[in-house]
Structure 1
Amino acid sequence: MQQVKAVIARSKGAPVEIVTINVPDPGPGEALVRVQACGVCHTDLHYREGGINDEFPFLLGHEAAGVIEAVGEGVTQVAPGDFVVLNWRAVCGECRACRRGEPQYCFATHNATQKMTLAEGEDAGTELSPALGIGAFAEKTLVAAGQCTKVDPEARPAAVGLLGCGVMAGIGAAINTGNVGRGMSVAVIGCGGVGAAAVAGAALAGAAKIIAVDLDDKKLAGATRLGATHTVNSSEQDAVEAIQALTDGNGADVVIDAVGRPETWKQAFYARDLAGTVVLVGVPTPDMTIPEIPLIDVFGRGGSLKSSWYGDCLPSRDFPVLVDLYRQGRLDLDAFVTEEIALGDVEAAFEKMHHGDVLRSVVLL
């Protein structure tokens, strides 16, 4: 058992706190990771606001990279000293998705069996709920060994740790879910962290035309740096009409909704070409419903309407490849790191998130 500093959300909407927590020694199938960097993601804010569930207190943080410090019995895929990116899709190998050869959809991903707990105060011993089974706003965290993907140790932790969630979600939405290929046209609606990553993924896949759509000119400029060939400020012009005008009146081959609202999903539906693909990677809230669209339009336009879970990634396959592309200078993961902060700055990072000032604040430990 070790005691380390960590950031928790104690109750719904309350400011986060730095506390001391107990981290057990790894048991069978588990790994203890010394965290080096962890991005501040919207999902962490959703946890704090009670938007995921009410299993407080939460140990926040999940977009992380670090070094394996110890492993439990039976762990062979990683060893102490390995540099790893953490993930929340530790495939089980046994569920119906895994059995049919689609582990990227694993429905029973593993987390650590043992619980980290509060170490001090009246509630000492209270079990913590780690965000996405990771909990990496902490000097050290305990995870299932399958949540650790070994990558090039020369890579910058602050950059490659972002593959643990948002950047992988966006890149995967383009490459894995949208099947973007050479010469295709792609539109991305919403150019925050995930949307900007979708732009980068489309560029990596060789798309000929990449149209970035947002309300914020700063985000559009960032999307251009990551590979967008055209930009549309949808506060000034109709997004659907603009996308169609840039694609000879046809619409894009793939349209990615990185916002996750009924109105943006409807824009994506009508901004695609016949037999085109819509990819929903922005996360809607439970109260949102699909907007009214005539069923004849669903039939008549053909194509695919897809949701992208975690960029439909398989971490063991995708993380090392993307880190290698980053090391070769072909994927600019550094562009997603807006600022590097300390554990005590997480609450301020949430506030900046509300104002759209950052792609990612990254906690360095």
Structure 2
Amino acid sequence: MPQTVKAVIARSKGADVELVDIVVPDPGPGEAVVAVQACGVCHTDLHYREGGITDDFPFLLGHEAAGVVESVGDGVTNVAPGDFVILNWRAVCGECRACKKGVPWYCFATHNATQKMTLEDGTELTPALGIGAFAEKTLVAAGQCTKVEQADPAAVGLLGCGVMAGFGAAVNTGAIQRGESIAVIGCGGVGDAAIAGAHVAGATTIIAVDVDDAKLETAKKFGATHTINSRTEDVVAKVKELTGGFGADVVVEAVGRPETYEQAFFARDLAGRVVLVGVPSPGATVELPLIEIFGRGGSLKSSWYGDCLPSRDFPMLVDLYRQGRFDLDAFVSERIGLGDVEAAFDKMREGAVLRSVVELEAAK
């Protein structure tokens, strides 16, 4: 039987979010219903609310989530009722040209649930990133569920988006190695996750760059060995000074602005790797001397979701967390209720939090 649950929606562009009743259908073939235990408040949710992604209102917000599978539809074999899972928004298809080439983290045909969740009057909802987890329960494609060892849902749920994006940008896309140097421009949640990933991977020079001294202090807690305030220091010159005059082996740009991307380009070593994980505005452009692109070699990469494969990376990172080697708890700034999402957006805009995390009753 379909279930009626509480959830947070964005009804129209720029309007405050609302806590309402929604209807979650029984899972169909290849689908699962998940009882959500925790869900992080991500900038992407705010982008949805502001109409910056699509205009398919109303949106069911929330996507950085963990919970327990309640029921599954026909043909589901990867998870079963009772499994503790982290939700992901890139459920690989296994059939597209990327998957067949052995690079499923680039999957071009990722799965979402076929059925729609609705308002009580039947209005169909668009789930954020195909998940919609600011809800007591949500319907997803079974491939969006990754089974992991039981752990604090508020912490490990953040692997569903921002933390995985940053960690993967350094480790998967940037391929940071033991003994290498890395600079991370932008020290929000994604940038701090890149710093943490570099620390776990054994980088020895980890440079945090931001305009906010408080964020730079926080970056040290995740493993930054040096900090640069770009309001007062020349980023390129300082990075080179800290790396023997050469530049960093890897530079992660976690802002998404032309001027910071240019800093990243010139702050890398010859044959170094630049990784763009910050989300740019649609009209942003970059102009670089072509001779510099040719003469520096190396690579300029974009990182999609940290180039992660959830079935591979989520269990590994949860294990590192459980072993005390990857401090996911440090990303959780506050634990809030479903009714507090709008206030969490305000704190996000002010830069007062890394992550506010909604906790549902099932997790308490």
Is TM-score (shorter-chain normalized) higher than 0.5?
yes
CA apart distance, 1:22: 0.3
RMSD (Å) for aligned C-alpha atoms: 0.5
Distance in 2 (alpha carbons) for counterparts of 1:169 and 1:294: 29
Distance 1:47 1:162 in 2: 18
In 2, the alpha carbon distance for the partners of 1:23 and 1:135 equals 11
Ranges of 4+ aligned residues in structure 1 off by more than 2 Å: none
Could you give the per-residue CA deviations for residues 160-202 of structure 1, whole angstroms, max 9, x where no partner exists? Answer: 0000000000000000000000000000000000000000000
Instruction: Find the counterpart in structure 2 of residue 337 from structure 1.
Output: 332
Partner of 2:46: 45
Report SS of the residue matched to 1:289: coil
Pairing 1:12–2:13 present = yes
In the TM superposition, 1:203-218 aligns within 5 A as 203-218=199-214
Question: What one-letter code is carried by the residue in structure 2 that aligns with 1:156?
Answer: D
Superposition pairs for residues 1-365 of structure 1, below 5 Å?
Answer: 1-119=2-120, 124-153=121-150, 155-290=151-286, 292-365=287-360
Q: Secondary structure at the match of 1:168?
A: helix
Uncovered stretches (5+) of structure 2, i.e. residues with no partner: none
Within 2, Cα distance between the matches of 1:308 and 1:37? Answer: 26
- CA–CA distance in 2 between the matches of 1:203 and 1:97? 30
User: How many angstroms apart in 1 are the aligned matches of 2:177 and 2:160?
Assistant: 24
- In the alignment, the residues of structure 2 paired with residue 53 and residue 202 of structure 1 have an alpha-carbon distance, to the nearest angstrom, of 34
How far is 1:111 from its partner? 0.4
CA shift for structure 1 position 248: 1.1
Determine the C-alpha separation between the residues in 2 that align with 1:5 and 1:238.
49
Q: Secondary structure at the match of 1:329?
A: coil
TM-score under structure 2 length normalisation: 0.98
TM-score by length of 1: 0.98
Q: Within 2, Cα distance between the matches of 1:110 and 1:170?
A: 23
Q: Distance in 1 between the 2:37 and 2:272 partners?
A: 41
Which residue type is aligned with residue 57 of structure 1?
Answer: P
Distance in 1 of aligned mates of 2:209 and 2:157: 26
The one-letter code matched in structure 2 to 1:176 is N
Return the offset for 1:236.
Answer: 1.2
Deviation of the 1:333 alpha carbon: 0.2
Unaligned runs of 5+ in 1: none
Q: 1:297-349, CA deviations, whole angstroms, 9 ceiling, x for partnerless residues? A: 11111110000000000000000000000000000000000000001110011
Counterpart Cα distance in 1 of 2:241 and 2:344: 38
Displacement, 1:238? 1.1
- TM-superposition CA deviations, 1:250-274 (whole Å, max 9, x none): 1000000000100000000000000
Say which SS state the counterpart of residue 158 (structure 1) adopts: helix
Determine what percentage of the aligned residue pairs are the same residue.
78
Letter in 1 for 2:214: K
Q: Matched residue of 1:76: which SS? A: coil
Tell me the distance in 2 between the aligned counterparts of 1:145 and 1:293.
Answer: 43
Q: Which amino acid aligns with 1:142?
A: L
Distance 1:242 1:342 in 2: 43
Shift of 1:20: 0.3
User: Deviation of residue 6 (structure 1)?
Assistant: 0.2
CA distance in structure 2 between the partners assigned to 1:35 and 1:47 by the alignment: 20
